[in-house]
Structure 1
Amino acid sequence: MCGSVGVFYPMTAEEKVDADNRSVYVGNVDYGSTADELEIHFNGCGPVNRVTILCDKFSGHPKGFAYIEFSNRDSVKTAMALDETLFRGRIIK
């Protein structure tokens, strides 16, 4: 449940900055949400590269937020329109 969907490889500092610029923070995520569900919810914004659900390192339980990385920077603007929409019964930020 926790973690990411996607391929991992060592990234340069420049690549990390680029990935950050193509990503959005999603808060108030239901603790039972999966990366696949989040990808489906945000897929209308553009192609999703990776979904990362943050988890507590001691308990392994989700923290209630995630990051969505898109293929294109333009998708970030589109994703921002989903602010305060309903996802799994909760208003996401």
Structure 2
Amino acid sequence: MNIYIGNLAYTVSEDDLRDAFSEFGEVANASIINDKFSGRSKGFGFVEMPKDSEAREAIESMNGKDLNGRTVTVNEAKPREERPREERSPRRDRY
């Protein structure tokens, strides 16, 4: 199961996530989402746990808890919805 973790402190690392969630079972992957321009954390990440029962226990236990000084939001990750591409209006030259 893929788990969403929000409201992360910018200092939280992928190893911190892995350590926090491994208390509940096997962690297959832990990732922090970073801004592609600055490289800075966007304040959320994901943890993947192979066993749904362990993942649900982690969600129930970690949601609303303090992680590195911030109260985190933890829930089952929803599949990313396709966003329609923005139609750009034709460029108008200004004189």
Where do 5+ consecutive residues of structure 1 fail to align? 1-21
Residue 86 (structure 1) aligned with residue 66 (structure 2): yes
Please give the root-mean-square deviation of Cα atoms over the aligned residues, in Å: 0.8
1:72 deviates by: 1.1
Unmatched runs of 5 consecutive residues or more in structure 2? 74-95
TM-score by length of 1: 0.73
Q: Which has the larger radius of gyration?
A: 2
Partners in 1 of 2:54 and 2:25 — Cα distance? 5
Match of 1:30 in 2: 9
Q: Number of matched residues? A: 72
Higher helix residue share: 1
**Distance across 2 between alignment mates of 1:78 and 1:48:** 13
Runs of 4+ in 1 over 4 A off after TM superposition: none
When the two structures are superposed, what TM-score results if normalisation uses the length of structure 2? 0.72
